């Protein structure tokens, strides 16, 4: 179907709508609507403002659908996306992988290949992750039956991806006939965007469906990344309903509890939390020791008990860093042909990691942490775009740089893309007030401070 048809259909719809609404309503809500594409038997419309989208989605939904159906046998619904997202669609830098896939549509379903070392057996269980382990095991044994969806949340490097792969590996061995799809939520977004961009009959929509609907188990990692992407959320919402209705298992991971996800539609948040929600927290000392022990053993690396304790004690952030530290020790010992049998050796090998006090935090760390938290890029914070998500991240970064580093307003302004010191002062005051009035903002501040080690 061609672009021309998109415009024609929308014109016909508008002609039918006109008599039903006032001129003012037309001016305000319809004159800026741009018809974009067809997607899954839907007409995709783009608007500039969130309010506009809401009006079309709610107040005018029935009317529009009626007029669409009247004018097309084929298209029976519509989706509204924000212009920001449309830009994503046209500027999206990396849908290459999806394009390659489009040329070679899978003839038969291929489950995701899982990382062979990310198994349940290799997952050290302690207080911090035993709930996640138990829930994941149950899901792997009886997908779609007990906990659906399984929603796993926790900070970076704590084992979320590992446990999802463990589910995949387990099912691949126990029930190889099941179709299991694992994807980073970002891949889901890219595939979705690509499926809108490509015309309906090119096969990619089918591919999108095959990938995400025609499955027995769907796992989406780091789901927080769909924040502020209404089109993706809409696609996920329908995918979710379809799968759950058909008793297919869904597993999500996220860096935070569903209730703290910003800029994700309420109806999705409530779906996220409709099964079981389990958190994975940083491991305590005992678990850290067990992990070092396990990893050293699996690499057949000899290390004294004292040394293991020392590493586990010093590296208390997350498991990825703990692994990284052990790797460094192994490397150091091999290069220098020394044994890991004295704390001095470890101290030398990990000099950068365990330097007293560590490297001081700087404004870039804070910007990066805020960007990650709000699902935007550091460049967005220092840039000029004003999507809701970016503005939230920017205001938070300004506030935290002030709060943590105590720099002069003018200096903060130069770090945030050369903004004026009055803007910075205004933002700081606003955030100061907000955090006292809005518990969610306070919680966000605490979350990000914790990630920066400034709780």
Tell me if 114 sits within 8 A of 169, measured CB to CB. yes
**Burial of 401 from C-beta contacts in 10 A (0-12 / 13-18 / 19+):** buried
Task: Rule CB under 6 A: say whether 160 interacts with ligand ADP.
Answer: yes
Report in angstroms how near the CB of residue 253 gets to Mg ion at its nearest. Answer: 7
Report in angstroms how near the CB of residue 132 gets to Mg ion at its nearest. Answer: 13
What does 157 bind: Mg ion, ligand ADP, none (CB cut-off 5 to 8 Å by kind)?
Answer: ligand ADP
Name residue, tokens 């840039």.
383
Task: Rule CB under 5 A: say whether 187 interacts with Mg ion.
Answer: no
Outline where 278-408 has alpha helix (H).
285-298, 305-314, 319-336, 343-349, 351-354, 363-374, 378-382, 388-400
Name residue, tokens 């809401």.
54
Q: Which residue's CB is nearer to ligand ADP, number 217 or number 315?
A: 315
Nearest alpha carbon to residue 144 among 237, 223, 218: 218
Among 129, 161, 232, 392, binds Mg ion (CB under 5 A): 161
Query: Cα 222 to the chain's mean position, in Å?
Result: 4
Task: Rule CB under 6 A: say whether 158 interacts with ligand ADP.
Answer: yes
What does 205 bind: Mg ion, ligand ADP, none (CB cut-off 5 to 8 Å by kind)?
Answer: none
* H or E, element range at 182: strand 180-184
Rounded-to-integer distance, Cα 289 and Cα 295, Å: 10
3-state DSSP assignment of residue 103 = helix
Report in angstroms how near the CB of residue 136 gets to ligand ADP at its nearest. Answer: 11
Q: Which residue's CB is nearer to Mg ion, number 46 or number 161?
A: 161
* H or E, element range at 150: strand 150-153
Q: 3-state SS of the chain: helix, strand, coil percent to 5? A: 60, 10, 30
Task: Rule CB under 5 A: say whether 224 interacts with Mg ion.
Answer: no
Task: Rule CB under 6 A: say whether 323 interacts with ligand ADP.
Answer: yes
Report in angstroms how near the CB of residue 378 gets to ligand ADP at its nearest. Answer: 19
Report in angstroms how near the CB of residue 181 gets to ligand ADP at its nearest. Answer: 17
**Peptide bond preceding 4: is omega within 30 degrees of 0, i.e. cis?**
no
Task: Rule CB under 6 A: say whether 162 interacts with ligand ADP.
Answer: yes
What character string, x for contact with Mg ion (CB under 5 A) and - otherwise, covers 116-155? ----------------------------------------
Task: Rule CB under 6 A: say whether 317 interacts with ligand ADP.
Answer: no
Query: Cα 201 to the chain's mean position, in Å?
Result: 29
Task: Rule CB under 6 A: say whether 123 interacts with ligand ADP.
Answer: yes
Task: Rule CB under 5 A: say whether 318 interacts with Mg ion.
Answer: no
Q: Which residue's CB is nearer to ligand ADP, number 115 or number 385?
A: 115
Among 89, 207, 291, 401, binds ligand ADP (CB under 6 A): 291
Name residue, tokens 């309420």.
266
**Chain residues that interact with ligand ADP, rule: CB under 6 A:** 118, 122-124, 129, 156-162, 291, 319-320, 323
**Chain residues that interact with Mg ion, rule: CB under 5 A:** 160-161
């Amino acid at each position: 179907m061609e672009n021309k048809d998109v415009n024609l259909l929308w014109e016909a719809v508008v002609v039918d709508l006109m008599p039903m609404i006032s001129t003012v309503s037309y001016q305000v809500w319809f004159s800026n609507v741009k018809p974009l594409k067809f997607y899954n038997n839907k007409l995709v419309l783009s608007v500039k403002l969130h309010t506009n989208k809401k009006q079309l989605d709610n107040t005018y939904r029935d009317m529009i659908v009626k007029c669409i159906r009247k004018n097309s046998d084929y298209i029976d619904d519509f989706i509204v996306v924000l212009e920001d997202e449309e830009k994503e669609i046209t500027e999206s830098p990396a849908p290459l992988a999806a394009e390659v896939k489009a040329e070679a549509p899978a003839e038969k379903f291929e489950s995701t290949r899982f990382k062979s070392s990310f198994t349940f057996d290799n997952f050290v269980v302690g207080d911090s992750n035993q709930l996640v382990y138990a829930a994941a095991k149950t899901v792997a044994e009886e997908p779609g039956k007990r906990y659906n969806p399984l929603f796993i949340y926790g900070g970076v490097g704590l084992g979320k991806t590992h446990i999802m792969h463990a589910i995949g590996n387990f099912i691949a061995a126990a029930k190889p006939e099941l179709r299991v799809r694992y994807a980073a939520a970002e891949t889901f977004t890219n595939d979705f965007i690509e499926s809108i961009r490509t015309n309906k009959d090119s096969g990619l929509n089918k591919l999108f469906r095959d990938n995400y609907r025609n499955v027995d188990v769907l796992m989406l990692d780091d789901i927080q990344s769909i924040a502020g992407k209404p089109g993706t959320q809409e696609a996920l919402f329908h995918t979710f309903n379809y799968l759950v209705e058909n008793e297919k298992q869904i597993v999500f991971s996220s860096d935070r509890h569903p209730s703290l996800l910003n800029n994700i539609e309420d109806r999705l948040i409530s779906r996220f939390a409709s099964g079981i929600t389990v958190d994975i927290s940083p491991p305590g000392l005992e678990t850290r020791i067990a992990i070092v022990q396990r990893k050293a053993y699996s690499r057949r690396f000899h290390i004294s008990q004292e040394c293991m304790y020392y590493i586990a004690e010093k590296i208390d952030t997350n498991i990825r860093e703990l692994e990284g530290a052990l790797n460094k020790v192994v490397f150091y010992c091999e290069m220098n042909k020394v044994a890991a049998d004295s704390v001095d050796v470890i101290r030398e090998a990990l000099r950068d990691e365990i330097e007293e006090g560590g490297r001081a935090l700087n404004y870039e760390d804070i910007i990066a942490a805020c960007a990650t938290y709000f699902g935007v890029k550091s460049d967005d914070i220092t840039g000029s775009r004003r999507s809701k998500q970016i503005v939230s991240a920017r205001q938070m970064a300004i506030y935290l740089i002030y709060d943590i580093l105590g720099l002069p307003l003018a200096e903060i302004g130069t770090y945030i893309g050369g903004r004026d010191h009055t803007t910075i002062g205004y933002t700081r005051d606003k955030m100061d007030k907000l955090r006292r009035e809005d518990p969610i903002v306070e919680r966000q501040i605490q979350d990000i401070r914790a990630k920066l080690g400034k709780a």
